[in-house]
Structure 1
Amino acid sequence: MEFVTLFCTAALLAGGLYWFVCILGSAEQKGKHAVHLSSGSITKENVKDNYKLYWSFFQRPKEIEKADKVPTFVDTFSNLVIDIYKWGWGQSFHFSPFIPGKSHRETTRIHVEIAADLLNVKPGARILDVGCGVDGRMRAIAAHSGANVVGITITEYQVKRARTHNRKAGLNKQCEVVCGNFLQMPFADNSFDWTYSIEVTCHAPKLE
């Protein structure tokens, strides 16, 4: 009986893994399965070392609390998960309230458009997206409001992907992406009319 249970459990797990990797489609690109994902910013030879580096922070949790250790921690994590996040969530890495009759992509777009409306963003305004990722929300807000949006992310790979998406969307004149640490902003005071951050400040050791 134990063998039968073990066999059925293994078969269920194997089937679930196959469905996730080979059958389940991308959030935005129909027909693109997880098995077809690119290797992203980390070569196959370096994935194991990067995983060990990421895991080492949990073995020394006090180090994560130090501001000088946070950039390495977040950058390592982002490089490990960026492509699977983009595949699963699309170009905006945050959760949005479910809207009946709307797709995941539409729901996410509407969510950030409402945020822009609440800020009363006007055409030509200059906005900062703190912790932008590959910044689907930047493009949604720019297209919706006519504002100019600058995003900052600590991961160079995300900067490259965001700039590529900006060009493809025809929004590269409205959208700019900067590689940097939002704990040490590289911008002069009063550079922006509005600033927003969605599900990113959790990466900061302190919220002050």
Structure 2
Amino acid sequence: MRVVFLTFLQASRECSFFSVSRHPVMSKSGALDLASGVGGKIDKKEVESAVKQYEKYHVCYGGDEETRKANYSDMVNRYYDLATSFYEFGWGESFHFAPRWKGESLKESIKRHEHFLAIQLGLKRGMKVLDVGCGIGGPLREIARYSLTSITGLNNNEYQISRGKELNQLAGLSETCNFVKVDFMKMPFTDNTFDATYAIEATCHAPDALGCYKEIYRVLKPGQCFAAYEWCMTAHFDPKNESHQKTKAEIELGNGLPDIRTTNQCLEALKLAGFEVIWEKDLALDSPVPWYLPLDTSHFSITSFRLTAFGRFITRNMVKILEFVGLAPAGSERVSSFLERAAEGLVEGGRKEIFTPMYFFLARKPLS
């Protein structure tokens, strides 16, 4: 079986699902890249047990919100060790959604979404900027090139940081962009360090929004701004509705979240942290193309094929084969499975309008 599969793999290298990245600045794009990355810094023999431990934190497997909040650092680290190679395989270097115009590709909308943040923050050459929860640094690199700023990416996952440093070097940005491994609830920076801060679908991992926003407030210079895209439950979410709760739980399971806050809770936490809110809005409301369309099973796209139902079906079975022949660690298919549930939960949340991944706000730290 192994010999037959390897022969098939060799013959299929030009197919986008099986090819290995050849261009040095591109994201890892092939099946072997995906297989080698599953588990991140976790020993490959321990991947399956890490998956089981991660699942235990969530409601779907008997876990509870308080346990997730108490162990958020371990939970989020396990999640990104397990899921990052899948994200990079499907999304590229920027792991986030975006409002999208008709006729616009997903990749184009993601870049525009990142540029929008830079414009709102008024980023200019020479400014010192903090990216809170930077992933492997896709947005960081795009915003740095667009605004000519120096950006520090903050991340608590060693695997993502090592991957980000590799991509920074290949993109020629190692001198102006760097990474710091740290919990964003306990930043190692002195007060009033940064000219601007932003977070893209990242501070939703914080167990306490107020505590997280207070840290961001502390390291930001007076008079300067913080902008973010937050994952939130909307005003349409009914905590007494079992269907709504099930959708929320599936999103939390598949995305390493301790608890998804409402837009009002985020707004209140910002104000309590000391910020002046300049403006805020759920940008999903004005998106001509639904933000969840790339994951919708009824949608087919060539430009974002790997995210479609058929693309995910191929990925799931490809991972199953790679695990069977020993090219992917045991537990890889299980990771693919809970990410699949997350996609289903996100689409349901979007259709019901009870969840948004792009609640935007721009807030200023007062001068005094």
TM-score by length of 2: 0.47
Letter in 2 for 1:194: A
Deviations 1:43-84 (A, max 9, x none): 431111110110121233121122xx1110100011010000
**Alignment CA distance shift 1:136-1:23 (3 Å):** closer
Which residue in the other structure is 1:55 paired with? 55
Letter in 2 for 1:203: H
- Percent identical pairs in the alignment equals 38
Whether the 8 Å CA contact 1:25–1:31 is kept in 2: the answer is: no
**Alignment CA distance shift 1:34-1:151 (3 Å):** same
Which residue in the other structure is 1:39 paired with? 36
Which residue in the other structure is 1:104 paired with? 106
Letter in 2 for 1:64: R
- Distance, in Å, in 2 between the alignment partners of 1:93 and 1:186 is 25
Structure 1 unmatched ranges of 5 or more: 1-21
2:69 to 61, 65, 70: 65
- Distance, in Å, in 2 between the alignment partners of 1:30 and 1:53 is 28
Whether the 8 Å CA contact 2:17–2:30 is kept in 1: the answer is: yes
- Distance, in Å, in 2 between the alignment partners of 1:56 and 1:104 is 33
**Alignment CA distance shift 1:57-1:142 (3 Å):** same
Q: Does 1:122 align with 2:140?
A: no
Deviations 1:120-177 (A, max 9, x none): 1010100100000001000011100100000111100000001111111111111111
Letter in 2 for 1:52: K
Whether the 8 Å CA contact 1:130–1:196 is kept in 2: the answer is: yes
CA apart distance, 1:86: 0.9
Matched residues, number: 184
Which residue in the other structure is 2:222 paired with? none
Whether the 8 Å CA contact 2:153–2:179 is kept in 1: the answer is: yes
Letter in 2 for 1:60: G
Which residue in the other structure is 2:172 paired with? 170
Which residue in the other structure is 1:195 paired with? 197
Structure 2 unmatched ranges of 5 or more: 1-14, 20-24, 211-368
Name segments (4+ residues, structure 1) moved above 6 Å.
Answer: none
- Distance, in Å, in 2 between the alignment partners of 1:29 and 1:93 is 14
- Distance, in Å, in 1 between the alignment partners of 2:92 and 2:27 is 11
**Alignment CA distance shift 1:195-1:30 (3 Å):** closer
Whether the 8 Å CA contact 1:34–1:84 is kept in 2: the answer is: no
Secondary structure of the structure 2 residue equivalent to 1:197:
strand
Secondary structure of the structure 1 residue equivalent to 2:146:
helix
Q: Does 1:131 align with 2:128?
A: no
CA apart distance, 1:180: 0.7
Q: What's the RMSD between the two structures over aligned residues?
A: 2.3
1:145 to 139, 144, 147: 147
- Distance, in Å, in 1 between the alignment partners of 2:119 and 2:190 is 26
Deviates more, 1:150-159 or 1:31-40: 31-40
TM-score by length of 1: 0.81
